[in-house]
Amino acid sequence: MFAEIVFPDLEGRSFTYSIKPGKEEKQAIRGARVLVPFRKGVKTGYILDLKEKPPRGITTIKPVMRIIHPVIPDRLFRLALWMADYYFVSMGKMLHSVYPAPARLGHNEIILPGLLFSMAPQLLKNLVPEKGITKRALLEKGNYQEREIDGFIEKGLIQRRVLVQDGKSKERVIVYTGPETTSPEISARALRQREIVDRLLAVGGSLPLKEFGRSSAVKALEAKGLVAVREVSASRGEKKQLLFSPFLKALTSEQERVYQDVRKTLDKGFSVHLIHGITGSGKTELYLHLMKDVLKKGRDVLYLVPEVALTAHLTHRLEAALGERVNVLHSYMGRRERYEAWNRAFSSAGEVFIGPRSALFTPSPHLGLIIVDEEHESSFKQEEAPRYNGRDAAVYRGKEEGIPVLLGSATPSVESYYNAVHLKKYRLHILKERYDTAVLPRVTIVDMRSDSCESGKTYPFSREMLNQLRKRKERGEQSILFMNRKGYHTALICSQCGTPLECRHCSHLLTYYKGRHVLQCHLCSSHFSREDVRCSQCGGNIFTESGMGTEKIDERVKELLPELTVMRIDGSTVGRHDTAKALFREFEKGGADILIGTQMVAKGIDFENVTFVGVLSADAMMNLPDFRANERTFQLISQVCGRSGRGKKEGEALIQTWMPHHYVLQSALAHDYEAFFASELAFRKELGYPPFTRICRIIFENREKSVLEKECKELEKQLERISGPAVTAIFQVFEKTPRRSDFYRAFLLLRSSELRELRRAVFSVKERCRKMKSRILVDMDPAYLGL
Ligand code: ADP
Ligand code: ZN
């Protein structure tokens, strides 16, 4: 047999290898990760296809060295195929993302002599005995870097063997797969069968098979489709018998209605549900009930969240309700933990896998439900290849698996809401009431145009804002001040010629940090000393400060309200997620009267004593050059305001603006998502933006600005002909690439109401650019325009 192999770094090409007959042949399936000889070394690749005969004209075919286990289920392979096609990525890259990075297990990883060991440097030869050495020991004794070892492996000098402890000992369990709502009918004489079913229903989930043995009763139940026997990792088996029902709360009638509606579809194949529920309406509670139903049947749940850093609270809640079936997969985890969780997923029966977009690739073979929480968040979109949207790919996975997908949000994305309301592709469920007596905060607006005389002295605070802050202090309550920009001044303008100071590397406006006395670029993280900067136009060194960030706000609050204590949370005060957690905890304990912060304060925090939220910079967010700026502002304001009044006390929120009549603010004020959606949809329609069109952004990169410009100019000349009448194409500005500042970039935006036409245009641009020196990257459904 022959395998067509693809590699992540060799795009658009595949290579043929042979597979030894026998055991190897049985293990070889598409999607498998393999080790193959390549040029002078060894390389990791993926089986794309299997063939009886090699392609004609190929004479020397090398054999596959090893098939690395475990291999992803075929449904995941099909998901990868779809994603590779839709997002214009190679299957090599795509499969490389589907598999986690091989676990670097430290002492559990054994290094052995490789195929080309005889060519290894003497030191390596001395250190690696025939029976192998642990990786950790090799790192220490050889004083090597991790990277060097990887290099030796790539060259085939040594090889690694991973010892996964968990995967080895398996246990068989029996799971209930019968109807959910009624206990199945079983003939009165089949007492043993009745007993088994009743016990399974009572514990919910699974029981070790050894309790029953593979008896005739079990076999009879299997034949009726009422139970199934599965293999799970032994170490997990016992914990699975935990009961969960006593910990679940009784649903309110509104929640119950939605629950029953969704529940009905659990066994009915693919469906998508959009749960539009205001903050605190019990979406999570609803998910818990649905998850319980799925887990009871021995099926798994995928729970995707926008960002894991802030989900500790959620995880505890899931664990309290569902027991030890909750597996968190996140980027702060060590490779080993992550690899083990991934491994476990192959043999799971009734577990929850919670994680960010990459958790989409959890290889569970028995998925029963996918939940995408906060589906509107742009962090579901990956900003490097493969540039996929985790939410949209989750919907596709649901389709492949034939299971329901739940998208939840208090402020759904315009695309999802449109899919539900206009296209009827998703079923819409609405939760209107906040649980218990909690009510939504009262939101008001300060018109800064009329308040400006007062705020001259107190800028950027209106009188109303200061009064509110004082009032909360008097009542012993806390406030949050939201400012979407960090730093002290967000721009410095040359006093002589009016040119704003830009980053030397990427032309982005520089932000001034007073505390550290530096200017920083938020795109490429370059720092410049305040003393050294000169205007790029006239060489002047006197600057007018403009635009405020959180650091300045912090200072102003202290000047204006010296009796109040302040804490600040933004990207510059917290380095890692641990620090953020610690700061939040301190604030929750009453560590300060006011918490000042960026986006970070908008999400997932629940403080009893916070009764006031002030939004200082709504306008700046709306004015960003991106068609989603309005949507993001609405979402963020709703979210931030939702932080107020989470406890027993009523909350208030205040938004300062120069555009008080803007529909974004008016609908945020009224907590009226539908009103926002209607206005926003009209705006999108008029300008031809999604959901009425689809956008694909093509990125061109080159070290030489002149080459890039020349190539783009040439392309631009032919653009109309290439893109065709159904596609509009525009070139955006040239930029230096963030973080890789020696590259220049140009963006080409393609837009069409016809997906087919858009794809055709992308293909022809790619085709046309094949001989270009510039690199081209395709970004389908980009999350951010502008930069
Ligand atoms: P959401 O996810 O929509 O923001 P949650 O599920 O977190 O809402 O619910 C908000 C709060 O109300 C939580 O503390 C939750 O425990 C509580 N709650 C919601 N529904 C119920 C219920 N039916 N019974 C008891 N508490 C509930
Ligand atoms: Zn820069």
Q: Running along the chain, 787 residues long, what does each successive block of 10 average in pLDDT?
A: 93 90 85 87 89 85 86 95 96 93 55 86 89 82 84 85 51 74 76 84 70 84 84 51 57 96 95 93 94 90 85 76 80 71 84 92 94 94 93 97 97 97 97 78 86 69 92 93 84 84 77 84 77 85 83 91 91 64 85 89 76 87 86 90 75 90 94 96 94 94 89 88 85 67 83 95 91 91 79
CA of 401 to the centre of ligand 1 (A): 30
Contacts of 522 (CB under 8 A, 6+ apart): 508, 511
CA of 282 to the centre of ligand 1 (A): 4
For residue 251, which atom of ligand 1 is closest to its CA? 23
CA of 491 to the centre of ligand 2 (A): 13
DSSP for 136-150, please give it. Answer: HHHHHHHT--HHHHH
The whole-number pLDDT of residue 168 equals 44
Identify which of 248, 284, 289 to mutate to test ligand 1's pocket (most ligand atoms within 8 A of the CB).
284
For residue 606, which atom of ligand 1 is closest to its CA? 14
Nearest-CA residue for ligand 1 atom 5 is 282
For residue 286, which atom of ligand 1 is closest to its CA? 6
The whole-number pLDDT of residue 549 equals 86
For residue 287, which atom of ligand 1 is closest to its CA? 6
Type and span of the H or E element at 529? strand 527-529
Nearest-CA residue for ligand 1 atom 22 is 251
Q: Which of 737, 717, 738, 740 is nearest to 729 (CA)?
A: 717
Identify which of 257, 276, 289, 435 to mutate to test ligand 1's pocket (most ligand atoms within 8 A of the CB).
435
CA of 283 to the centre of ligand 1 (A): 7
Ligand closest to the CA atom of residue 316: 1
The whole-number pLDDT of residue 738 equals 60
Nearest-CA residue for ligand 1 atom 4 is 280
Cα distance between residue 583 and residue 567, in whole Å: 8
Residue listed under structure tokens 């305040």: 530
CA of 498 to the centre of ligand 2 (A): 20
Contacts of 654 (CB under 8 A, 6+ apart): 443, 444, 445, 446, 464, 465, 468, 612, 613, 614, 615
Ligand closest to the CA atom of residue 639: 1
For residue 250, which atom of ligand 1 is closest to its CA? 23
For residue 281, which atom of ligand 1 is closest to its CA? 3
The single-letter DSSP state of residue 754 is -
Type and span of the H or E element at 446? strand 442-447
Q: What are the C-alpha distances in Å from 635 to residues 310, 621, 647?
A: 18, 11, 21
DSSP for 300-336, please give it. Answer: EEEEE-S-GGG-HHHHHHHHHHH-TTEEE--TTS-HH
Ligand closest to the CA atom of residue 275: 1
CA of 504 to the centre of ligand 1 (A): 50
Nearest-CA residue for ligand 1 atom 11 is 280
Pocket around ligand 1 at a 6 A CB cut-off: 249-252, 255, 277, 279-285, 435
Cα distance between residue 217 and residue 227, in whole Å: 11
CA of 678 to the centre of ligand 1 (A): 28
Cα distance between residue 712 and residue 700, in whole Å: 8
The whole-number pLDDT of residue 737 equals 64
Pairing of the two strands 15-18 and 2-6: antiparallel
For residue 249, which atom of ligand 1 is closest to its CA? 24
Please state at what angle helix 74-86 crosses helix 91-98, rounded to 10 degrees.
Answer: 130
CA of 507 to the centre of ligand 2 (A): 6
Pairing of the two strands 300-304 and 352-355: parallel
Ligand closest to the CA atom of residue 605: 1
Largest CA distance in the chain: 97
- Determine the residue type at 688: G
Which parts of 102-205 are beta strand (E)? Answer: 109-113, 133-134, 158-162, 170-176
pTM confidence score: 0.80
Nearest-CA residue for ligand 1 atom 15 is 282
Contact 5, 45 (CB under 8 A): yes
- Determine the residue type at 617: S
CA of 509 to the centre of ligand 1 (A): 43
Cα distance between residue 369 and residue 386, in whole Å: 24
CA of 734 to the centre of ligand 2 (A): 14
Residue 472, burial from CB neighbour count under 10 angstroms (0-12, 13-18, 19+)? buried
The per-residue b/e assignment along 382-407, b for 16 or more CB within 10 angstroms, e otherwise, is beebbbbbbbbbbbbbbbbbebbbbb
Nearest-CA residue for ligand 1 atom 20 is 282
Nearest-CA residue for ligand 1 atom 14 is 280
Q: How many CA atoms lie within 13 A of 465 on its CB side?
A: 31
Residue 626, burial from CB neighbour count under 10 angstroms (0-12, 13-18, 19+)? middle
The whole-number pLDDT of residue 741 equals 61
The whole-number pLDDT of residue 102 equals 64
Ligand closest to the CA atom of residue 254: 1
CA of 284 to the centre of ligand 1 (A): 7
Residue listed under structure tokens 């246990």: 171
Ligand closest to the CA atom of residue 522: 2
Nearest-CA residue for ligand 1 atom 6 is 282
Residue 466: helix, strand or coil by DSSP? helix
Nearest-CA residue for ligand 1 atom 16 is 285
Ligand closest to the CA atom of residue 523: 2
CA of 647 to the centre of ligand 1 (A): 12
